[in-house]
Structure 1
Amino acid sequence: MGGRYTIIEDDLSGADIAALLRLHMDEMHQWSPPESVHSLPIERLRAADVAFFAAWDGARLAACGAIKDLDQGHAELKSMRAHPDYRGKGAGRAILEHLLDVARARGCRQVSLETGRPEAFAPARRLYESYGFAPCPPFGSYTDDPFSICMTRML
């Protein structure tokens, strides 16, 4: 999947990836208080329980996202981010579809995520809802948080 985008598993060593993840973290802190920011730092995205992917449009980074193992049959989406130049151009959808395919290939039965409640996160929530994600109680180490919403879907 991915259409016009080439999606590869990425080792997080490139400058483009680092810049997009810095933008992601900066925006999360702009829209939510520090205790409500659950983005993983680049070092944590390199851990064995996380697989990180990048969507490329030729030589340009279009989007990124990761899948983190939670427990048997349950995975979490992390660090979903489209480059600002690619918002609304299908790059986020391409990464989301790829991550769902990876989850299925790994035998996952459920995929969950945490995203923000402020209006700035509305496009992301709409994307997730369009793929069948629905609000759910906090999972893993998440707790009730007025700036955060957890979502899940079965595969």
Structure 2
Amino acid sequence: MTHSGTYSATDRHQSLSITLDQDLRVTDVRVLDQDRLRSPRSFKDALQEAFAVADGERVLAALEARGDADDYLARAEATLSGRSPAVAPPRPDVSRAASAARRAAGVALASRPEPPPPLTSENGYLTIQRGADGRLLRVDVDPEWLSGARPQLLQQAVLQAIRLGTENPS
């Protein structure tokens, strides 16, 4: 669901909802079925699924805004149905000869951005690691706390721990 630059989604069990903005910042978290989120594995799965689906909605909206959605979806369908092979983007040549040629020409490969440090909720029971691109890489949650956490506390902890390492100053 999209509302003025935000993208909301739930996990497949409808236990957790995440809302992202266009810059991949989490703006809202809703616990919909607390009982399904009592185990660390179920909680992690729900969080990652809801995040991924909301991010997919965000990407689809960007493709639609550029007019590229139909082509992208047609290529994805062809790949999934086996009519077209999956093609990975080309990787840069990192051989010694290529590296020496780049150095001689004064050209360097772009360095990979460092991911932000893991963030922990104020209560210390939930830690989330995001990649430099905003993806969720790791979710660590205290099982004992999770088994008894009220929905409001769980929502607050997720919002605190899922923020990108640096907030947008604007």
Q: TM-score, normalised by structure 1?
A: 0.38
Between Structure 1 and Structure 2, the one with more strand by share is 1
Bigger CA radius of gyration:
2
Q: TM-score, normalised by structure 2?
A: 0.36
